A and B are shown apart, each in its own frame.
Chain A
Amino acid sequence: MVIGQSTVLAAAFPPSVEDFYLPSILPWGAHDNYWFTKVTLLVWVAVAAIIIFFLWAYRKPQLVPTKKQWMAESAYGFVRNNIAVDMIGPAGVRFAPYLTTLFLFVLVNNFFGIVPLIQMSPMSHIAFPAVLAVISYVMFIWVGMRHHGPLKYFKHALIPPAPWFILPLLIPIEFFSNFLVRPFSLAVRLFANMFAGHMLLLVFTLGGFAMLNANVLLAPVSVLSWVLTIALTLLEFLVICLQAYVFTVLTASYVQGSLADEH
């Protein structure tokens, strides 16, 4: 542990899956204890930050908003009007609070991936996207069953308006795409994006150190690699916002599909 940082980092090149599983904080340094790690700590920090910001910004709401109130309102208004109402229609206002919470949770947790010195997104651990995906999954089925009645909902979701002879082919496909793939695709899309983003940053950062350690003459290439890290961080920022948006939009779209009367 006394060896210089760069040597340690260079030694860890190429980065591996293990780089995502940091030792636990409490108890310190344990490798098989996951209750209190950097990742779980960050999830709590995200939750606390969002709660504190919104309670603070919306302590005394006014008709003419202050700046912080306006910021809080635009976050909610964006999801409410541009996702919930746009996707689901007027009935979407009902889902706006959950969708906004979902969006903010994913966004802030994703964002840890590029915050200097933190640079680790909890969403790169599949457990967290999986929880969110399962909630979305249960929600859209529940909403559909409430809206149409259980039997009618499954009939509606599984039997497309098609000639009878093609139905034996279509029903399994519908079942597969609507009830098996959806939660996985939701969870894996988010997880893989954050995982890959972190991996990319690791490759370019550690790659710089690795080249520098291998040969001092490669220093310019190392610098190039680090510059690319910065560029990739900006790209990562785009991915972070996009994935939070996509997750929310897809959830809204599934709910819309459950509420729709026609195919």
Chain B
Amino acid sequence: MINLYLAAEEGATEHNPIIPIWQEIVVGSVAFAVLCFVLIKFVFPQMEKTFRARVEAIEGGIKRAEAAQAEANELLEQYRTQLAEARTEAARIRDEARADAEGIRQDVLGKAREESDRIIAAGNEQLAAQRESIVRDLRAEVGTLAVDLASKIVGEALADEARTRGTVERFIADLDTTATGRR
């Protein structure tokens, strides 16, 4: 046991851990150089490229989304103005229709009034004509009646006042009956 310890202690003087072994320096340098060469030349630039592509893809996506949003907003605005236009148009049409209806009503009313006036006028005219003809007939009849009456008066030689009065009354009554009978 002690011998082995001693051997180990003797061995310890053989190597100093703080003094590098030059063969290992060579191996380490070459190995690390190879690693650096491969990674820095082939792998990491590729990664940077991918990172950039990813950033661009994301930014492009955002840009596209923004464009779509803007387009949608524009369309919405357009639809809104169109809707407003349609509303005003509809209101205008309604107003016009109302105005038209009013006009038509006035028209119809005027026509009706005219018609009624015309009818009334026609009635009046007819009435006047009838009256005229009646007056004409009466006038003719009154003439004959007067002649009749005069002949009667003359025929009966006017006996007394009482008879005369009676004659006249009879005449008038006669007149009345003929007038009513004519009607």
Chain A interfacial positions (CB closer than 8 Å to B) = 11-12, 14, 16-18, 20-21, 34-35, 39-40, 43-44, 46-47, 50-51, 54-55, 58, 61-63, 65, 72-73, 76-77, 93, 96-98, 100-101, 104-105, 122, 125-128, 130-132, 135, 188, 191, 195
A165 to chain B, nearest CB (A): 39
Q: How far is the CA of A89 from the CA of B2 in the complex (A)?
A: 59
Q: Distance in Å from the Cβ of B16 to the closest Cβ of chain A?
A: 8
A210 to chain B, nearest CB (A): 10
- Distance of A130 Cα from B28 Cα, bound (Å): 9
Closest residue of chain B to A96 (Cβ to Cβ) is B44
Binding site for A on B (CB under 8 A): 1, 4, 8-9, 11-12, 14-25, 27-29, 31-32, 34-36, 38-40, 42-51, 53-54, 57
With beta carbons under 8 angstroms apart, the residue of B11, B18, B32, B48 that contacts A47 is B32
Could you tell me the distance between the alpha carbons of A128 and B24 in the complex, rounded to whole angstroms? Answer: 7
For A128, the chain B residues whose CB sits under 8 A away are: 24, 28
| A56 nearest CB across to chain B (Å) | 11
Other-chain residue from A34, A47, A77, A98 in contact with B40 (beta carbon distance below 8 A): A98
Contact B28 A127 (CB under 8 A): yes
Q: Is the CB of B21 within 8 A of A105?
A: no
Tell me which residues across on chain A come within 8 A of B47, comparing CB atoms: 58, 61, 72-73, 76
Give A260 to B11 CA distance when docked, in angstroms. Answer: 48
Query: Known contacts A12-B8, A16-B9, A43-B28; is A21 also within 8 Å of B36 by CB?
Result: no
What is the predominant secondary structure among interface residues of chain B facing chain A? helix
List 24 interface pairs A-B (beta carbons < 8 Å), by A numbering. Answer: A11-B4, A14-B8, A16-B11, A16-B12, A17-B12, A17-B16, A18-B14, A18-B15, A35-B23, A40-B23, A47-B34, A50-B35, A51-B38, A58-B43, A72-B47, A77-B51, A97-B44, A101-B36, A126-B17, A126-B18, A127-B22, A130-B20, A131-B32, A135-B32
* B34–A35 CB distance below 8 A: no
Chain A residues whose CB sits within 8 angstroms of the CB of B20 once the complex forms: 125-127, 130
> How many Å lie between the Cα of A50 and that of B45 in the bound state?
16
Contact A55 B15 (CB under 8 A): no
B124 CB to closest chain A CB (Å) equals 102
7 closest cross-chain pairs (CB), A and B: A127-B24, A127-B20, A34-B23, A97-B44, A18-B11, A128-B28, A97-B40
B38, A55: Cβ atoms under 8 Å?
A: yes
Known: A16-B11, A76-B43. 10 other contacts (CB 8 A): A16-B8, A17-B16, A18-B14, A35-B23, A51-B35, A61-B50, A73-B50, A125-B21, A131-B32, A132-B32
B residues in contact with A65, CB < 8 Å: 50
B39, A20: Cβ atoms closer than 8 Å: no
Interface centre among B18, B45, B47, B49 (most CB of A within 10 A): B47
**Alpha-carbon gap, A125 to B17, bound state (A):** 7
Chain A, interface SS category: helix
Q: How far is the CA of A263 from the CA of B58 in the complex (A)?
A: 39
Residues of chain A within 8 A of B16, CB atoms compared:
17
Flag if A34 contacts B21 (CB, 8 Å): yes
With A17-B12, A18-B14, A43-B31 in contact, do A98 and B24 touch (Cβ < 8 Å)? no
Measured between alpha carbons, how far is A122 from B31 in the docked complex, in Å? 12
The answer to whether A18 and B38 have CB atoms under 8 Å apart is no
Nearest Cβ distance between residue B46 and chain A, in whole angstroms?
6
Contact yes or no, B42 A55, CB < 8 A: yes
Residues A17 and B15 in contact, CB atoms below 8 Å apart = yes
User: B167 CB to closest chain A CB, in angstroms?
Assistant: 140
**Inter-chain contact B27/A43, CB cutoff 8 Å:** yes
Measured CB to CB, the nearest residue on chain A to B9 is A16
Tell me if B28 and A50 are in contact (CB < 8 A). Answer: no
Q: Is the CB of A50 within 8 A of B53?
A: no
Given A11-B1, A17-B17, check contact A63 B50 (CB 8 Å).
Answer: yes
